Homo-oligomer: A and B are copies of this chain.
Amino acid sequence: MSQTVTRFEVHDIRFPTSEQLDGSDAMNPDPDYSAAYVVLRTDGNERADGPGGADGPDGGTGPEGHGFCFTIGRGNEVMAAAISTLRPYLLGRPVPRTAAALGELYRELTHDSQLRWLGPEKGVMHMAAGAVVNAAWDLAAKLAGEPVWRFLAGMTPEELVSLVDFRHLTDALTPDEALALLRAAEPGRAERTERLLAEGYPAYTTSPGWLGYDDDTLVRLARQAVADGFTQIKLKVGGDLRDDVRRLSLAREAVGPDIRVAVDANQRWDVAEAVEWMRALAPYDPYWIEEPTSPDDVLGHAAVRAGQPVKVATGEHIANRVVFKQLLQAGATDFVQIDATRVAGVNENLAVLLLAAKYGVPVCPHAGGVGLCELVQHLAMFDYVAVSGTWEDRVVEYVDHLHEHFADPAVIVSGRYAAPHAPGFSARMLPASLADHRYPQGPVWRARHTPEETGR
């Protein structure tokens, strides 16, 4: 049955998280977690929304695709404007349901030459393409009656390869190499799917470690994380070395020697500073140092990795597949941290998963924010089933924030993500949450201040 996209709605949704210092780190002291949110409405009577039920009070007559970019407040309206430029690629056109159609849509959105100039393939315009691509995946998976991870894992190697844009990648990964990787993982798909459904996917939690939390909160939440079954936690560092030494030793004492404690500098350092700082923290056995320096600095990450003993992790702010490619070529990172909404959606993240598999580097997705856990769990589970074929040394970040706003929230059981069953990408925010947090006109914001006061 053919369906058409009949509406393309864009919403500026913001949560006043800066009031609690949730999410505070060395570079981002006061984030208001936000989403530039897109809804694709369709015609037709076919409903495949699964347990999530109807897609909102003003839904169309057919299923909907929901997608978004995560931002931290100011400028979310710029993201919304960027998403709106992509309306003509969807509105009035057939719903993309197949790998071929989803591959074509992704290429159209990222190859529009006039819009590409605004990146190219980076920043606001590229993330906007990602929001729309992800909304299309949400819709296609709903129509297929499957969660995105299973929808992807049900595609043939040839279909998966057709989703990727290999431009500027072939010096590291050719379509034939990608096909061979996917074919090699094909025989184990069914078995791993069963195991995933039974056991869930390994997670770690950053909830204890925000820089704005006091020591007591840190220790209490670190102990709680272990009690909840997590085997890895993460602390934000990079503000003050003595504070970091104290916090890391407190955390280590709280969780014992067998729990991994990763640290995250959120791009704060130059290369020499990162090396020096991490040499000072190394005695407390941090598991990895995340974003030690600029996300654009491939050579800098390689130098940090070579200059101190702690493993390096990076990727949440890496702009596109070309930078990921170089990180791997240069041996600059021990872990690849994909983000669901920083690059151009499922398709580009598939390219990164394939690159990481080629180089044998574990993918440990970034999450948190608004809805990032919900989205990225699908990509990690698909990676396990159909690409890398392993969860050894893999772990998806989990932060216990804002899940209550989602119709199909991520579920953690004993420190692991339970595999989603509902059709789609787990992307749909509840209608009341959307209505309450619209910026600046929603009641949550009207109660706080006037638009003029929030302009800065």
Measured CB to CB, the residues of A under 8 A from B are 27-32, 71-75, 77-79, 81-82, 85, 87-89, 112-127, 166-171, 267, 270-272, 293-300, 303, 317, 319-320, 322-323, 325-326, 329-330, 455-456
Residues of B within 8 A of A270 (CB): 166-171
The answer to whether A77 and B71 have CB atoms under 8 Å apart is no
CA–CA, A189 to B117, complex, Å? 37
- Min CB–CB distance A295 → chain B (angstroms): 7
A contact face: mostly helix, strand, loop, or mixed: loop
The answer to whether B78 and A85 have CB atoms under 8 Å apart is yes
Residues of B within 8 A of A329 (CB): 299
Closest 10 CB pairs of A and B: A123-B123, A88-B456, A124-B124, A74-B114, A73-B114, A171-B271, A168-B294, A296-B322, A81-B81, A170-B270
Residues of B within 8 A of A272 (CB): 170-171
- Min CB–CB distance A158 → chain B (angstroms): 21
Residues of B within 8 A of A74 (CB): 85, 112, 114-115
Residues of B within 8 A of A326 (CB): 296-300
Known: A270-B169, A270-B171. A72 touches B319 (CB 8 A): no
The answer to whether B120 and A267 have CB atoms under 8 Å apart is yes
Q: Could you show 24 A-B contacts with beta carbons less than 8 Å apart?
A: A27-B116, A30-B114, A31-B113, A31-B114, A71-B117, A75-B85, A75-B117, A77-B81, A78-B78, A78-B118, A79-B118, A87-B455, A88-B456, A89-B456, A123-B124, A123-B125, A123-B319, A124-B125, A166-B270, A168-B294, A168-B300, A171-B271, A171-B300, A300-B326
The answer to whether A119 and B113 have CB atoms under 8 Å apart is no
CA–CA, A112 to B74, complex, Å? 9
Contact of A126 (CB < 8 Å), options: B123, B271, B295: B123
- Min CB–CB distance A110 → chain B (angstroms): 12
- Min CB–CB distance A275 → chain B (angstroms): 10
- Min CB–CB distance A257 → chain B (angstroms): 34
Complex: chain B residue closest to A320, CB-CB: B296
Residues of B within 8 A of A114 (CB): 28, 30-32, 71-75
The answer to whether A113 and B78 have CB atoms under 8 Å apart is no
The answer to whether B297 and A168 have CB atoms under 8 Å apart is yes
CA–CA, A225 to B122, complex, Å? 36
Q: Which of A77, A87, A169, A299 is the most central at the interface, judged by chain B CB atoms within 10 Å of its CB?
A: A299
The answer to whether A296 and B267 have CB atoms under 8 Å apart is no
- Min CB–CB distance A211 → chain B (angstroms): 12
CA–CA, A122 to B319, complex, Å? 9
CA–CA, A77 to B87, complex, Å? 14
CA–CA, A82 to B113, complex, Å? 20
The answer to whether B120 and A295 have CB atoms under 8 Å apart is yes
The answer to whether A122 and B125 have CB atoms under 8 Å apart is no
CA–CA, A166 to B269, complex, Å? 11
Residues of B within 8 A of A317 (CB): 120
CA–CA, A227 to B127, complex, Å? 47
CA–CA, A427 to B443, complex, Å? 43
CA–CA, A75 to B118, complex, Å? 7
Residues of B within 8 A of A300 (CB): 168, 171, 322, 326
CA–CA, A303 to B172, complex, Å? 12
The answer to whether B121 and A296 have CB atoms under 8 Å apart is yes
Complex: chain B residue closest to A325, CB-CB: B297
CA–CA, A112 to B298, complex, Å? 24
Contact of A78 (CB < 8 Å), options: B73, B82, B295: B82
> Besides the contacts A85-B455, A298-B326, what 20 more A-B pairs have beta carbons closer than 8 Å?
A27-B113, A28-B114, A72-B114, A75-B85, A75-B117, A78-B78, A81-B81, A87-B455, A119-B122, A120-B267, A123-B123, A123-B124, A123-B125, A123-B126, A123-B319, A168-B267, A296-B323, A298-B299, A299-B329, A300-B326
